[in-house]
Amino acid sequence: MIEHDIFRALADPTRRTIFEKLANGSMNASTLRQGMDISQPAMSQHLAVLRAAKLVREQKEGRFVNYEVDPDGLALIAQWLAKYRAYWPARIDALKLLLKDMDQ
């Protein structure tokens, strides 16, 4: 179940930080570690979890592995969220912002 992989992957704060960094630009695993106080194997393991959840994808470049955000994972979250649209109108104010962003 990929849906389970996604929520489990995002349940970890370190992985959310990694994902957020990648959202601001692709980079390889070593660069990703900078300023994060995390060991190389730990980073590698986190990236494996994010990859399994289709939240990031890799692109091998020589001995480097460039990581970038995978839109598939985000689309799946959007689909999950869409199932509960019946409950959204109750918080229109918070939603306006989202709608405005999406409408371009």
Partner DNA sequence: GAATCGCATAAGTGTGTGCTTATGTATTTT
Partner DNA sequence: AAAATACATAAGCACACACTTATGCGATTC
Q: Among residue numbers 44 through 103, which ones bind DNA (CB under 7 A)?
A: 44-49, 58, 62-66
> Between the CA of residue 53 and those of 33, 46, 57, 60, 72, what are the distances in Å?
20, 11, 10, 19, 9
Q: Which is nearer to DNA, 3 or 98 (CB)?
A: 3
How many residues of this chain bind a second copy (CB under 8 A)? 38
DSSP-derived 3-state class of residue 68: strand
Which entry of a second copy, DNA, none binds 2, CB below 5 to 8 A by partner kind?
none
Structure token digits, residue 9: 């992957």
74 lies in the binding site for a second copy (CB under 8 A): yes
Beta bridge partners of residue 67, listed in sequence order:
27, 58
Query: Which of 24, 34, 35, 41 is in the footprint of DNA by CB under 7 A?
Result: 41
User: Which residue type occupies 84?
Assistant: Y
Q: Which DSSP category does 65 fall into?
A: E
User: Which residue type occupies 76?
Assistant: L
Q: Which DSSP category does 34 fall into?
A: T
Chain residues that interact with a second copy, rule: CB under 8 A: 1, 3-4, 7-8, 10-11, 13, 16, 20, 23, 69, 71-72, 74-79, 81-88, 90-91, 94-95, 97-99, 101-103
Binding site for DNA (CB under 7 A): 8, 11-12, 14, 28-31, 38-49, 58, 62-66
